Structure 1
C-alpha cells in the first residue's frame, strides 16, 4: 500500500497509515451505509478527483478494508469485516467533529450517506426508548432520507416512506443535532420547512438526535 509510513511500531500509527490519506475515511463513511458502485461513490463525494477516488479504492482494497463484489451484474464496493470495524471510530470522530461545526458555508452540502452517519452518531438510545415509535421523511437538498425510530432501534437510509413528519432541510439540520439551533427557530427562519405532520415532532426529532452535553 502506498500510504505514508510513520516509522513507528504503534497501533495508532498503523491505523493512520491505512486510513489517514485524504478522502479515505469519507469513503469508509459512505460504505458504512451500504455497498456502492463507483459512480455512486463519486456522486456522494462531488469534490473528489476521479484519479484520487480510484487510488483510494485501490489502497483500501489492498489493506483489506473494502472489496469489489459482483451485485446484479454490476461491481460494487463494500466493506470487509475488518473495514466495518471502523464504524465506532467513524461515529466517535463524527461526534467530536459535530461539536465544532459552526454555521454551514454556502458551498457546503449534505448527502444522504453523510446525514445517515451523523444521525447514527447523535442517536440517543436511552431517550428514544421512552418515546413513541416515530418515522421521519427528510428531504436533504435534492435527496431523500427515511428515518424510523422504534425504541432503541434506528433504521436510516435513502428513499421515502410513510412518515409521521416530513420536512425539507439543508446543512443547517446538523445545527439542530449539535444543539446550536432550536427546532422552533429552524422553522421560523426557514432552515427547516415542514411538509407534513405536527411541528411538535421536530422537537421529538431534536430530542432523539442530540449530542450528549
Structure 2
C-alpha cells in the first residue's frame, strides 16, 4: 500500500519503515540476529501481535529475513539483510537530532543494543584522536565488545575477557556515568581494568546541546 503517492525517497522510506515500532525493531537487530522473545523483551510496549506484523512487513520489504542459527542452537531468529544494516546511519542521525530536543528524556530505559548504538553515535571522534582500546560491556542479558581505533568505534555482540576495561552492570547505570558524568562509585556499575583508560574512554561521550538555551524551562529532564 502506498501512503504518499510521492516519488521522494524520504516518502518511500517512510512507507518501508515508518510504521510504529519498525525502526526500533531494526535497532534491536543492528548487532546481529535475535529471537522473537529477545526482540520483544527490549521493546516492552509492543504486543506480540504488533511485533509479528512489523517483522512480517520488514521481511516483505527486504529489510530483514528469518533464518535458523547453526547447530547446536538451531533456533529461529530474525536478522537484517545487508541492505537493512545500511540503515544504521539513519538511526544515528535521527538519534543525534532528536537528542537536541528539550523533550528528550535521558532517564528513560534503553536496551543494550540501543545503548551500544548510542555510544557509536555520540562518540567525539576529534577527542578520541589516536586512542586505541578494547572495551567490554556486560549487561544482565547481553554482552558486547568495542574496539576503538582511528577515531572509530567498532562494536559487536560477544565476550572478551582480556579487554583493557570491562564495564558490568545495567544500561541505565552506564548511561548515567557516560552521559550524566555521575561518579562510578555511586552507580550499580563495576569497572575492571585500567582506571585511566576507563576514565579517558568515558570522557569521549556527551549528549549534543539542546536547540534552545531555555530548554530547562521547556521540559528538559536531567539524569
Which of the five TM-score ranges fits, normalised by the shorter chain? 0.7 to 0.9
Deviations 1:84-141 (Å, cap 9, x if unpaired)?
2312101111222333443414xx2x3221112111112334433422x222233445
* Residue aligned with 1:145, SS: strand
Q: Which residue of 1 aligns with 2:115?
A: 115
Note the residue ranges of structure 2 that are not aligned, 5 or more in a row. 210-223
What is the RMSD of the two structures over their aligned residues, measured on CA atoms?
A: 2.7
Q: Which residue of 2 aligns with 1:151?
A: 150
Matches within 5 A, 1:58-97: 58-72=56-70, 73-97=74-98
Matches within 5 A, 1:128-167: 128-131=128-131, 133-140=132-139, 142-161=141-160, 162-167=162-167
Contact 2:58 2:64 in 1 (8 A): yes
CA distance in 1, matches of 2:93, 2:201: 21
Quick one: structure 1 residues 193 and 81, their matched pair in 2 at CA, closer, same or farther if it must change by over 3 Å?
Answer: closer
Aligned match of 1:193 in 172, 189, 194? 189
* Residue aligned with 1:208, SS: coil
Quick one: structure 1 residues 76 and 87, their matched pair in 2 at CA, closer, same or farther if it must change by over 3 Å?
Answer: same
1:14 and 2:15 correspond: no
CA distance in 2, matches of 1:141, 1:69: 26
* Residue aligned with 2:92, SS: helix
CA distance in 1, matches of 2:141, 2:33: 21
CA distance in 1, matches of 2:120, 2:82: 19
Quick one: structure 1 residues 177 and 195, their matched pair in 2 at CA, closer, same or farther if it must change by over 3 Å?
Answer: closer
TM-score by length of 2: 0.75
Quick one: structure 1 residues 76 and 143, their matched pair in 2 at CA, closer, same or farther if it must change by over 3 Å?
Answer: closer
Select the structure with the greater relative contact order (CA < 8 A; seq sep ≥ 6). Answer: 2
**Number of residue pairs aligned between Structure 1 and Structure 2:** 202
Contact 2:100 2:208 in 1 (8 A): no
Deviations 1:51-110 (Å, cap 9, x if unpaired)?
0110001111111211223332433222223322312101111222333443414xx2x3
Quick one: structure 1 residues 170 and 67, their matched pair in 2 at CA, closer, same or farther if it must change by over 3 Å?
Answer: closer
Q: Which residue of 1 aligns with 2:127?
A: 127
CA distance in 2, matches of 1:22, 1:140: 27
